[in-house]
Structure formats: structure tokens, C-alpha cells
Structure 1
Amino acid sequence: MLPKWFLLHWRLLLWLLPLSAIITTLGLNFYVKTVTSSHRYTNPTEVPVQRVAIVLGAGVYPDGTPSPMLSDRITAAVELYKLGRVQKLLMTGDNSSDDYDEVTVMQRYATERGVPVEDVTLDYAGFSTYESCYRAKEIFGVEQAVLVTQSFHLPRAVYTCRQLGVDAIALGTPDWESYRPQTIMYYNLREVISTLKALWEVHVTRPLPTFLGPFEGIK
């Protein structure tokens, strides 16, 4: 029979391990939010002038319309364009199959709202925030940009792009104000884990995107 002190030590260890994991996870998320805080904006009129806005993709419906979150991102980017804060829009998203094309939907939505088609560049292989940032630099030559996405997504997006060589600032679209609390709670919880994955990718593994290809640039 094991002594009581041994059992107590094991019980304590079983409590400390998950507690340490939780504290580490929250601490790393707090770090990412802190170091990106000065690069994040919620008012488009306060965003410093940049040449390019990178609009990160989200879901589209089978009828060819953007999801509410994606339409909010595109609308915010169009506003930046009309305010003269940016000159070009880089739409980056998922076109992994013939019947799913986020970026063409994004382009159409923006041009219908007054952005000339020649000022919209499409990245069909932005399958994740990491891949969109990586390809923005390596394929499209973007070294400075305004990222446009929901506010809950901003810290991870800004941190990832800056670590991959894009001097990024960001405009956050409303989230808690616009969607059901349950929806935003889910996305915020998911961000906690996604931020850990982003830190692992940019600091440890540095994986290549699914697709690279020749340099295209943005005219």
C-alpha cells in the first residue's frame, strides 16, 4: 500500500498540471493582446493611411452571398477605401474547390459598393490567417497593410502578420454589438486555442502555405 504522503503529492500534481496549462494559455493570450494593442483600431477614420487593406475571408453561402461576418469585413474595407485610407484591397480566402469561392464573392460585394475592380486583388489560397499573412508578403509583396476582420480576431491576426514580416495594423468590425452573445462567446473561446496554434506556427514550425507559386504583386 502506498503511503499517504505519496498519494497526496500525486493528487496535488494532478491539480497543478491542468491549472498550469490554463494559466499558461491565458497568459500567452494576454501577451498577444497586449503587444498588438497599439496596432488595433475600431474607428475607420482613425486608421493611418496605408496602400493596402487585407480582408480576411470567412464563410459564404451556396447562393453566392457572404456570411454576415464576411459582409461586415468587406463593408469596413470599402469604407476605408472611400475614406482614402487605403488604395487597394487584397481579398484573401478559401477557394479550395470549384463550388466554394470566398474571394470572388468578396470581390463582387466590394465592386457592387463602388470599389473599382482594378483596385481589388484576389488571393484564392488564403486558407487560414497564417497562410493569408504568409502569402500577402511572399506572393503579393505586401510589407505594410491594414487587416480587416472582427475585433475578437484582431490580436491573433495582427500578431501573425507582423511576425511574418508584414507591418500590420488592423481595423476591427463590431462583434459583441452585432451578433448573438452565444456566437461571439464561441468565437472568443476558439480564439484562445487558435492563438496558441499561431504562436507555435510563427515561433516554432514556420510551415509553408498549402500553395505558394510565382510572385504576383499588387499593381
Structure 2
Amino acid sequence: MPAMWKILRRIGRGLLFAGGLLLLPRLWTTLLALAAIRSAEDAAPQPVAIVFGAGLYRDGSPTPVLRDRLATAAELYALGKVEKLLFSGDNRTVYYNEPEAMRRYALQLGVPAETIVLDYAGLRTYDTCYRARHIFQVESAILVTQRFHLPRALYLCSRLGIRAEGVPADRQYYRKSARLFWQLRET
């Protein structure tokens, strides 16, 4: 029996080590992001805010997470922190148009139509950052998304050549199960 415990201990240590290695990228991006996360009031003025998509309901209306991102972007515009808002999201089918839903909601919040730029191919965080830099020629921006997502968004945009600060769009309490899922997805 002692030999079996020795083997189990080695396996356990190996699993802990592997788990630690899997968490290193998340820890690294989080540490790098700490210096670049600001409140809307404290963010430095930038030419554009990049707003990441976050899903729509069946009726085409924004989810609460996306509404929070759009409200934060509208606040940044109202504070004079940005001149343009780049709404990036999924539009793979004619029945699902995240950027257009984002535009409609922002207009309801009082954002002028001429301020809004739509990116219809922001399927993933990487796509949004890549297209912002290489298609829309963004060099510096404020990234608008929830706090759990900001480290990865800041890291990817930075690696793709965008100088960015992040403003968290956490305007409400999200269910614990949703927050846990998001944290696991980001790891």
C-alpha cells in the first residue's frame, strides 16, 4: 500500500504543477493589465473606444452584459473621453447582427449616429483587436468590457499594436454561476 500512496502523491503533484502552468498566462495578463485599468472619469482621452460584443437575446436586443458595455461607452462619450465608438460583434448570419443592435441601443442612450463605427466581423476578442488595428487603423483606444475580460483584451490589443487603457463595464451584479463560467473561460 505505501508504494501506491507514493504513486498517487506523484500524480497529485504532477496535476498541481500542470494546473499551475495552465493558470500562468491568466495571472500574467492580469498583472500586466492592472496598470491600464481606469474608471471612466480617470481614463485619458482617446480618439476611440472599442466596445466588444457580448451577445443578443432571440429578439435581437442586447444582453445585460452588452447593455452595460454600451452604457459605459455612452458615458465615456458624454464625458468627452472619446470621439468615436467602435462597436465590434458577430454578424455571421442575417438573423444575428450584434453591431447593429449595439448601434440602436447606443442611439437610445443619446449617442450621436455619426460617432458610431460598426465592425461586423468581431467574432472573438482577437478578431476585434486585429480588425481595430489593421482594418480601422486604430493606434490608441479605450477598451470597454467587463473586468474579467479586460486583461485578455488589453493584452491582445497591445500585442497587435494598439496603445490601450481599459474601462470596466460592470454596472450590475452578475449571477455567481455566470461569473464563474467567465473566469474559467478566460483561464
Per-residue CA deviations over 1:183-209 (Å, capped at 9, x if unaligned) read: 2122112211xxxxxxxxxxxxxxxxx
Asked if 1:181 corresponds to 2:170, the answer is: no
- Is residue 2:48 matched to residue 1:52? yes
**Aligned position for 1:26:** 23
Are 1:190 and 2:185 counterparts? Answer: yes
CA distance in 2, matches of 1:19, 1:113: 48
> Percent same amino acid at aligned positions?
42
Structure 1: distance between partners of 2:2 and 2:127: 51
- Find the residue that maps to 1:89 and give its secondary structure: strand
Deviation readout 1:63-85 (Å, 9 max, x if unpaired): 22100000000000000001000
Residue 167 of structure 2 is matched in structure 1 by 171
Query: Match for residue 36 of structure 1?
Result: 33
TM-score (norm 1): 0.80
The alignment partner of 2:27 has SS state of: helix
**Aligned counterpart for 1:17 among listed residues 14, 19, 27:** 14
1:118 Cα deviation from its structure 2 partner: 1.3
Give me the whole-angstrom Cα distance separating, in 2, the residues matched to 1:121 and 1:135.
12
**Residues 126-155 of structure 1, C-alpha deviation per residue, up to 9 Å, x if partnerless?**
000011000000000001000000111111
Q: Give the SS at the match of 2:144.
A: strand
List structure 1 segments (4+ residues) > 6 angstroms apart after TM superposition: 4-9
List per-residue Cα deviations over 1:36-68 (Å, max 9, x = no partner).
111012x21111100100000011112221000
Bigger RCO of structures 1 and 2 (CA < 8 A, at least 6 apart): 2
The one-letter code sitting in structure 1 at the alignment partner of 2:12 is: W
> Is 1:140 matched with 2:139?
no
CA distance in 2, matches of 1:124, 1:28: 29
- Aligned counterpart, 2:155: 159
Identify unmatched segments of 5+ residues in structure 2: none
